Structure 1
Amino acid sequence: MSPISFASSSFNRRALLGLGASAVVLSAARPVFAQGGDKPVRFILPISAGSGVDAIARAASVALGKALGQPVVIENLPGAGGITGTSAVIKAPPDGFTLGMVSNNHVINPSVFKKMPFDAIADITPISVVGATPLVLAVNPKLPAKNVKELVALLRAKPEGYNYASSGNGTIIHLAGEMFMDEAGVKARHIPYKGTGPMVTDMIAGQVEMGVVALPAVQPYLKSGALRAIGLCGPARSPAAPEIATIAEQGLPNYAVEGWFAVIGPPKMQPADVKRVHEAIVAAFAAPEVREAMDKQGNIVKPTSPEQAVSYFRSEAARYAALVKKANVVLE
C-alpha cells in the first residue's frame, strides 16, 4: 500500500483528533477588521476537546488573536466525522469572522458518507494547510507487546481476538489502523468511537487494546505509563519523542501516515479577507511561543498559500478515496 505522508506531497516536510462544546475567549490589542470593532472571530474545531487538532489550535490561539487584532472564540463542535462543525463554518457569513480548522477527515468524508450536506472543496474557502502532526500506534500497557514485531506475533496468534479503537468510522485514525493491519497481514476488530477523547479513555481503561492517535493527544499518557507506544506512524521519528521508533523502521517499510491540519473559511470569502486571515495564520504560527509549543507536540509547521491549499485538498481527496475503497470502509 502506498504511504500517505505530508512529507511526500508538493509541500516541504519541514513545513506541518468528547467533552462536548467548549470555548476559550482571547483578547487582542487592536482591531484589524475595519468594521469589526470588538466582534469576536469564531474559530470552530469540528472535533472533540482532547484531540490532536484541539491541542494545536489552543496552543496557537493567543497568538492568532493578537495577529487578527480581534477577540477569538474557540468552539468544539464535534459530530458526524467533522461534518457538524464544518457545516457551521460553511453556513456562516463569509466576512472573515468565522473560521475553522480541519484535518484529513475533511477530504475523507465524501468517500465515507453516502450523502454529504456540502461539497468538501467547492463549499469552503481554503486558507492554508498549516502543517502536519505525528500519529502513534499505542496500546494498553497490559497488552504483552512492546514493539511492532511482538504486536504482530500477538495478532497472528489470535486472529481477530483483539480490538483496535478509532475516533470514528472512516476517519484518518481508522484508516491508519486499517493500513497497519493490511501491511502487517493481521486482523483485529475495529471499534469506532465518537471522538478521540472517549477513545483514549477506553484505551487507558483497557476496554480496547490498541489504537492510532495523534501524538500530542497522548504524550502525557505515554510518559506516565498509562499507555505504551508501539511505533510512530510517520516516515521519520519525531523530535518531540525521539525514543519512539517508527513502524517503518520496525519491519513495515511501506507504512507511513500522518495527520495534517488546515484553516478554512465559509465559501465566497472576499480576496482581501482571505489575505488578511492568511497573514494572521502565518504570523501566529511563526510566534516564538507557538513554535515552541509545536516543537514540543512534534508538529511540523509551514503554512501553504490558499492556492496550494486548494490543490492539496483535491489531491488528498483522490488519494483517500482509493484507500477507503481498498479498506472496505462501510459507507454511512
Structure 2
Amino acid sequence: MTHDHSPSFLNRRQALLGLAAAALGTHGDLFAQAPGSVVRFILPVSAGSGVDGIARAASHQLAAALGTSVVIENQPGAGGVVGTNAVVKAAPDGQTLSMVSNNHVIYPSVLKSLPFDPIADITPITIIGATPLVLVVNPGLPVNNMQEFVALLKANPGKYNFASSGNGTILHLAAEMFKDVTGTFSTHIPYRGFGPMLADIVGGQVHWGVGALPACKGQIDAGRVRAICVSAPQRIPAAPNIPTAVEQGFPDYLVEGWIAAAGPKGMSPDLVKRLHAAFVKAFNTQEVKDAMAKQGNTISLTSPEAAVAHFKSEMVKYAGLVKKAGVVAQ
C-alpha cells in the first residue's frame, strides 16, 4: 500500500479535517479555527460592580470553553448606555459580547432617548443568574438596623442623601423602592458607575446606597460601610450575618439584580447555541461554582429562548416600578 503525501492529497486531507471539525459544532473550540482570535466582553459598568465581578471570576473558564482569549473591557457611562451601544454596533460574529443586568431593560422607562432598542438590537444568549443587593450606610450614621435607619430618615426629612450607579439603574430603583416601602425621603445623587458611588459612601460624601452584595462585601467586612439589610427573601449564605429587610419588619422590600449574557442582533441561531453551550460549560466548572458561591450569587443558566422571554417580561415589570417610584425620564 502506497502513501500519497503529495501537496494535493494533504490539502484534501486538511479540508476534510476542517469539515469534520466544523461538523462537531459545540464539541470543538468555538474559535479554534481562527488562531489569535479574541472575544471581547464589553461591560456597560465600572470595575468593581456586581456584573464585573461575575465576568472576571468566570473569564478563565469562559476562555477555555470558547477556545480563545477573553478580554474584559469596562465602558461605564450614562447608566450603562455607553457600553451597551458599543456592543449593539459590533459585528454579530460572536467576538463581541456583553454581560448586562436589569439596567438593560430599565433604559426605555428612564431615558427620553436611546441610541438602540434594548430588545430588537441584541441577541440574548442566557440569563446567567441573580446577585443579591444590600443596603449600606456610611458607618458615621448612628444606625445599625432597618428600624433605626428608618427612624433617623423620618426624623430628618431631606437631610440625608443616597448614591446610585446612574439615574434609572437597578441600584437607583432599589433605593427608590426602599424609600417607597419605608415612607422616607432622601436626595438622589447619581454617579458614573458603581465604583465611584461606593467610594463616596465610604468617604462620607453621601450617606447611603444599594449595591450588589459581592461588590460591597469587601468594604462591609473591613468596616468601611455598614450593611443594614439584604433585599432578598432569605439571608445569603455568603453573608449570613446580614439580616433581610423581611425579617426586620419590611416584607415588601424585595429586589435583586440579574445577570445575562448577550451579543449584537443578527447572530445566527447556530452561533448562539454554541455560545450558550460554552457559558453552560464554564459556569458548571468547580472553579466558577466556588467563586459564585463565595460572592453570594445564585447561578441558573436559562436557554436562549427563555432569555428572550425574560428580557421582554422584565421590561414590562420595570416600566411599572419606575412609574410607581416616580422616577422622571431624563
Q: Equivalent residue for 1:165?
A: 163
Q: What is the identity, as a one-letter code, of the residue corresponding to 2:182?
A: A
**In the alignment, which of 231, 235, 242 is matched to residue 240 of structure 2?**
242
TM-superposed CA distance for 1:88, in Å, is: 1.1
Q: Decide which of 302, 310, 313 is 2:311's aligned counterpart.
A: 313
| 2:80 equivalent in structure 1 | 82
Give the corresponding residue for 2:148: 150
Counterpart-to-counterpart distance in 1, 2:316 and 2:78: 21
Residue in 2 aligned with 1:11? none
Q: In structure 1, the residue corresponding to 2:247 is in which secondary structure? A: helix
Deviations along 1:245-264, whole A, 9 cap, x unmatched?
Answer: 10111111111000000000
> Is contact 1:31–1:69 with CA below 8 Å preserved after alignment?
yes
TM-score normalised over the length of structure 2: 0.90
Q: Is the 8 A contact 1:67 1:283 kept in 2?
A: yes
Structure 1 match to 2:8: none
Deviation at 1:53, TM superposition (A): 0.7
Moved more, 124-133 or 234-243: 234-243
Query: Which residue matches 2:52?
Result: 54
Preserved CA contact (<8 Å) 2:42 2:97: yes
**Alpha-carbon distance in structure 2 between the residues aligned to 1:246 and 1:220:** 19
Which stretch of the first structure deviates more once superposed, 62-71 or 37-46? 37-46
Tell me if 1:99 matches 2:118.
no
AA matched with 2:99:
M
Q: Deviations over 1:171-196 (max 9, x none)?
A: 10010001011101111111111110
Q: Of 205, 208, 218, which residue of structure 1 is paired with 2:206?
A: 208
8 Å Cα contact 1:128-1:262 kept in structure 2: yes
Of residues 85-94 and 260-269 in structure 1, the stretch that sits farther from structure 2 once superposed is 85-94
The Cα RMSD (Å) is 1.0
Q: d(CA) in 1 for partners of 2:287 and 2:278?
A: 15
Name 1:299's counterpart in structure 2. Answer: 297
Alignment partners' CA distance in 1, 2:208 and 2:79: 20
What is the CA–CA distance in structure 2 between the aligned matches of 1:318 and 1:276, rounded to whole Å? Answer: 29
8 A contact 2:133–2:257 mirrored in 1: yes
Distance across 2 between alignment mates of 1:51 and 1:32: 28
Q: CA deviation at 1:103?
A: 0.2
Matched, 1:252 2:250: yes
Per the alignment, residue 186 of structure 2 pairs with 188
Once residues 147 and 113 of structure 2 are traced to their aligned partners in structure 1, the CA distance between those partners, rounded to angstroms, is 40
Query: In structure 2, what is the Cα distance between the partners aligned to 1:247 and 1:51?
Result: 22
Secondary structure of the residue aligned to 2:40 is strand
Contact 2:31 2:37 in 1 (8 A): no
- Decide whether the 8 Å contact of 1:31 with 1:38 is kept in 2: no
Q: How far apart are residue 37 of structure 1 and its match?
A: 2.1
Task: Give the distance between the partners of 1:201 and 1:34, measured in 2 at CA.
Answer: 41
Alignment of 1:32 with 2:45, yes or no, is no
Q: Give the SS at the match of 1:92.
A: coil
Residue 118 of structure 2 corresponds to residue 120 of structure 1? yes
- Equivalent residue for 2:40? 42
**Which segments of 5 or more consecutive residues in structure 2 lack a partner in the other structure?**
1-27
> For the structure 1 residues 34 and 295, does the alpha-carbon distance in structure 2 shift closer, same or farther, using more than 3 Å as the test?
closer
Distance 1:329 1:92 in 2: 31
Mapped to 2, the partners of 1:190 and 1:86 lie a distance apart of 24
> Is the Cα contact below 8 Å between 1:140 and 1:227 reproduced in 2?
yes
Structure 2 match to 1:327: 325
Residue identity opposite 1:262 in structure 2: A
| CA displacement 1:34-88 (0-9 Å, x = unmatched) | 6422210111101000111101100000000000001111111111111111111
Identity %: 61
For 1:203 and 1:322, how far apart are their aligned partners in 2?
29
Instruction: Please state whether the residue corresponding to 1:134 is helix, strand or coil.
Output: strand
How far apart are the structure 1 equivalents of 2:186 and 2:154? Answer: 10
In the other structure, the counterpart of 2:139 is 141
- Tell me if structure 1 keeps the 8 A contact 2:124–2:261: yes
Asked if the contact 1:31–1:37 (Cα under 8 Å) also holds between the matched residues in 2, the reply is: no
Partners of 2:228 and 2:65 in 1: how far apart? 39
Alignment size in residue pairs: 303
- Structure 1 spans left out of the alignment, 5+ residues: 1-29
> 1:31 deviation in Å?
4.4
